[in-house]
Structure 1
Amino acid sequence: MTRHLLVPGRGIARAEHWLRRWAETHPEYRWAPEPPGPPLILRDRVAALHTAVGESDEPAVLIAHSAGCITVALWAATHSGPVRAAMLVTPPRITGAEPDDPSDIPWVVPRARLPFRTIVVASRSDPYTTFAQFEQFAEDWGAELVDAGDVGHLDTASGFGPWPEGERLVSELG
């Protein structure tokens, strides 16, 4: 059996967001961590992900959106555990925290090859990351790149509630 851990992005996803919908329709999926509101404190998120991964020897598939992808990369750079694969959806380009931003976003996101199978889902019209930057994330992390087309940030604001193609990708990961 494979566990599925949902790694949320920076803000609170609306009820229509595909991650929230998946949590509701798949009661076996678990948040890691529960979706918090701002500010984004990555050290707390990485610690929560580490706790969730370590709660069982059963392999996990990590499903992350936006800043949750950065949480996964940071976790993998400093921790290990029974992770089978990860789907990283529209990771944001990070240039460092703004001076008035209380988060602890690092100036440099780990770019080493991830130690598990990884899919990076990219958008051609994401407001935070260019397609070329998604390609670089995928190359650096040793990930398969999935071109989702013109889907914005693949969030509620971009029109995504249900996302059946994402569920298909997750099923391929285990």
Structure 2
Amino acid sequence: MTGSTPSPAANLGGAPTVLILPGWLGSGPDHWQMQWARLHGYAVVEQNDWQHPLRGDWLARLDETVIDAPGPVVLVAHSLGCLLVAAWASVSRHTSRVHGALFVAPGDTEAAELKDRLPGWSPIVRQALPFKSILVGSQNDPFCAVERAQGLAHDWGAHWVDLGAAGHINADSSLGDWPQGQTLLQTLLKD
């Protein structure tokens, strides 16, 4: 997260656009992602089908959104949105536009309980990302064991943040507009 080498997106100029990437089934109005969108004016990347996510469709939508952004972007991904970013970064020619990414509670689509429900989302892309990132995980996330989340952080080259027993770090976690997450995001925006 620190260092003197500027992000490749720095040459695009302007303040980064924050793009909110909800996961499977989207993020409801009480989810911190939607609260951030309302409070701070961040753009939500709307997917065509939240119920039956097709990886190729989601990848294309993210690529279009990044291309259409007026300058560099910072991605704020939750759950399946985290896996989307990793998959997208492995195939897109536009990763230099990304200033950074905040990953929160990645879902483990390789786990038996999710693999059949989300076909096409495994294996999880685990290559190092070409932009700085932070991954926030929980000790009791029902959709990803903490060891798996730590492994993703390591493989992606993300800074690991342990939020303790915070479930899936969603509306059910009673975080409100999650000020701690906003602080983490601000470190990415300022770097």
1:130 pairs, out of 135, 142, 145, with 145
Deviation at 1:80, TM superposition (A): 3.3
Tell me, yes or no, if the aligned pair for 1:8 and 1:35 is still in contact at 8 Å.
Answer: no
The alignment yields a C-alpha RMSD, in angstroms, of 1.6
Which has the larger helix fraction? 2
The Cα offsets for residues 87-120 of structure 1, whole Å up to 9 and x where unpaired, read as 010101122631xx4x543321110000000111
Tell me, yes or no, if the aligned pair for 2:47 and 2:58 is still in contact at 8 Å.
Answer: no
2:28 pairs, out of 3, 6, 14, with 14
Runs of 4+ with >3 A deviation: none
* Aligned equivalent of 2:115: 97
1:63 aligns with 2:81: no
Q: Distance in 1 between matches of 2:165 and 2:123?
A: 27
Ranges in structure 1 where 5+ consecutive residues have no aligned partner: none
Length-normalised TM-score, structure 1: 0.91
* Aligned equivalent of 1:159: 174
The Cα offsets for residues 29-84 of structure 1, whole Å up to 9 and x where unpaired, read as 11123585301122111111100111146111000000000110110010032001
Q: Distance in 1 between matches of 2:123 and 2:80?
A: 13
Percent of aligned pairs with the same amino acid: 32
> CA 1:36 to 1:13, structure 2 compared with 1: closer, same or farther past 3 Å?
farther
Correspondence list, 1:25-64, <5 A: 25-27=39-41, 29-34=42-47, 36-56=49-69, 58-64=71-77
Q: Distance in 1 between matches of 2:176 and 2:59?
A: 26
Q: Distance in 2 between matches of 1:157 and 1:51?
A: 31
How many pairs are equivalent?
170
Length-normalised TM-score, structure 2: 0.83
Stretch moving more, 33-42 or 157-166? 33-42
2:37 pairs, out of 23, 34, 59, with 23
1:78 aligns with 2:91: yes
SS of residue paired to 2:51: coil
* Aligned equivalent of 2:18: 4
Q: Distance in 2 between matches of 1:150 and 1:160?
A: 12
